[in-house]
Amino acid sequence: MVLKVLMLIFILLVFITAWYLIRSKNKGQFIIFTFIGNRKINTLFSVTSLVLVLTGIVGIIILFTLPKIFNFITLIIAAMAISIFSFTFMNLNE
């Protein structure tokens, strides 16, 4: 039961992160970076937010239908998506 609650909190954080990326893309500003008109960063934000939304949906399905060991799939995919986003964003802003 505790695992389900923790995974629900994690999935909620994944959805919040995806929403923040979409909102930042639409505003053209992410934390302290301004990137209005930069196509590469807009694409990066769109793809990452889409991957995070899909990860959240898959995570909810896994949480309620499969054994709890499969929850690692959600954790790994979300961690990889955020890591790839971070490394790519860092390289685009050099």
Q: Check residue 74 and give its pLDDT.
A: 93
Is residue 46, in this structure, part of any structural domain at all? yes
Q: Is the pLDDT of residue 3 over 60?
A: yes
The tens digit of pLDDT for each residue in 25-71 reads 888 777 777 777 778 888 888 999 999 999 999 999 999 998 989 99
Q: Is residue 55 part of a domain?
A: yes
Cβ atoms of 45 and 24 closer than 8 Å: yes
- For residue 93, what pLDDT band results from cuts at 50, 70 and 90? low
Residue 59 inside a domain? The answer is yes
Average pLDDT for 8-31:
89
* Number of compact structural domains in the chain: 1
* Residue 83 lies in domain: 2-26+39-92
Confirm whether 20 is domain-assigned. yes
Q: Has residue 23 got a pLDDT over 60?
A: yes
C-beta neighbour count of 23 within 10 angstroms: 13
In a domain, 87, yes or no: yes
Is 50 a domain residue? yes
- Percentage of the chain beyond pLDDT 90 is 60
Q: 61 in a domain, yes or no?
A: yes
Burial of 53 (C-beta count, 10 Å sphere; 0-12/13-18/19+): middle
Is residue 32 situated within a structural domain?
A: no
pTM: 0.88
